[in-house]
Amino acid sequence: MKHPEWIAILDYGSQVTQLIARRIREQKVYCEIIRFDTTAEELMKRAPKGIILSGGPCSVPDDDSPKCDPALFDLGIPILGICYGMQLAAQTLGGSVKPGLKREYGKAMMTITKDSPLFKGLAPDIQVWMSHGDKVESMPEGFEAIAESDNCPFATIQNLDRQIFGVQFHPEVVHTPQGKEMFWNFAFNICKCSGDWEMSKFVEDTVNQVRAQVGNGHVLLGLSGGVDSSVVAALLHKAIGKQLHCVYVDNGLMRYKETEEIEDLFGRAFGIDLTVAHSGDLFLGKLAGISDPEEKRKVIGGTFIEVFADKARGFGDTVKFLAQGTLYPDVIESVSPIGGPSATIKSHHNVGGLPEDLQFDLVEPLRELFKDEVREVGRELGLPSYVVDRQPFPGPGLAVRIIGDITPERIEVLQQADLRVREEIMKMPNHLDVWQYFAVLLPIQTVGVMGDNRTYESVVAVRAVESRDGMTADWYKLPYEVMDSISNRIINEVPGVNRVCYDISSKPPSTIEWE
């Protein structure tokens, strides 16, 4: 889907390039991250309202560092260079970039020294986040410095006649508190965007796009019950109705009553054609005696493909399309300046590696969206909050939360313990602040006393973390009374458990999941 009003972000490899896109989209302006070497001619075919050159890890003066098409600066389109992007713009236009005598990293105070549409409405002294070794030594002709820091006399530069701006700091990170206002100024004061990127408009446009792509054909979707596949199901159902066929594989490793919830919502409430494969016995049989986490994942992934493919064959030649919940971060991976373009198909909750006899055209209606935008679409489509706000859940299910051997008895213990963790945390008014929370069943037993009897039973660990994107995470400081309720309920209500521990490790060095 191509939008008439958009901002192009050329990616030079910064780890926070995605944050630029998120900040622009927060202004209800559509944007895309594209390859660093996209030519001016290619860009003009879609006529962006503005261009942003991202930061990056390389050094602009190096011969092998990624460069841009110099013709970009002659298009008459406003340009904002960020960190590496500013240095690249300066050097390309005739200025010079040199290694700084002192690397500037972390919070810094910047003083605005000259009026600029980029800083409209901002106080003269601003906290910013710096992360650079090189810096602009001399500005190109026609440019002026409009802000400075102690270590950077050219913290921001501009050429108003050509509408080209450069900032040495990173306005996209939270450590630049007024970065959002700067992006607003760039999008609206400088690029003259109207801000019409609405989820209701996205739904309308996507429905029309899917109808045009599919025509009278039929679409198969592997429904996991997670946010992405649930929103895809609701969106495609709105677009093509009975032409959508969903297959849900119950591997016996789902959370308590999860399969029933999915059947009720999609099969009964939405009226979607839903095939449920009750394959728990098959999965558990293949997992018997396997305790290594990587081996568990391979067995579960391979068995899933086997079951899904069998159900897919049951539709014969009716189905020509396969729908997947690919999101924009999956797509962005293909524009890395290091690896070059490549097709990226997510297989975590979706279907990768299908047998050769099953050839489908892909339908990926969410490939333009970030996770928070997917949730907005879900709300727009009327999905209930327990689906839209659902936490991340691993593809192998509870298998990676049962440390050691997997048995029906251990699955039941974990399901019941996990249910109580979720019930108690969801009573908190701010429970949506917790990124993820769950129980883990450990492969050890400890001595306890219940009544007058000695017990020797299992240990459950409770994990709760706060995070923005799952890449890093800190353990969540649950109130003591909540932890107390969780522990009491698990020990008193779940047979086979006599001890509860709380995981207080962060990612890194730990991971969110235990396996």
Q: Which residues are catalytic?
A: 83, 170, 172
227 assigned to a ligand binding site: yes
Q: Which residue has 């999101």 as its token pair?
A: 327
The token pair that represents 448 in the structure block: 């306890």
Residue 267 dihedral angles phi and psi, to the nearest 5°: -75, -40
> DSSP of 43-101, one letter per residue?
HHTT--SEEEE---SS-TTSTTS----GGGGGS---EEEETHHHHHHHHHTT-EEEEEE
Q: For residue 355, what are the CA distances in angstroms to 157, 299, 323, 324, 495?
A: 55, 16, 16, 17, 43
Q: Where are the alpha helices (DSSP H) in 121-198?
A: 179-184
30-35 and 50-53 beta bridge pairing: unpaired
Q: Do 430 and 397 meet the contact criterion of CB atoms below 8 Å apart?
A: no
Q: Which residue has 């009553």 as its token pair?
A: 257
325 assigned to a ligand binding site: no
- Other C-beta atoms closer than 10 Å to the C-beta of 33 total 20
Q: Which among 21, 67, 77 is positioned nearest to 44, based on CA atoms?
A: 77
Q: Do 31 and 1 meet the contact criterion of CB atoms below 8 Å apart?
A: no
> DSSP of 449-486, one letter per residue?
EETTEEEEEEEEEEEEEE-SSSSSBEE----HHHHHHH
503 assigned to a ligand binding site: no
Distance between CA atoms of residues 262 and 381, nearest Å: 16
Distance between CA atoms of residues 485 and 490, nearest Å: 9
Distance between CA atoms of residues 279 and 137, nearest Å: 65
Binding residues for ATP: 224-230
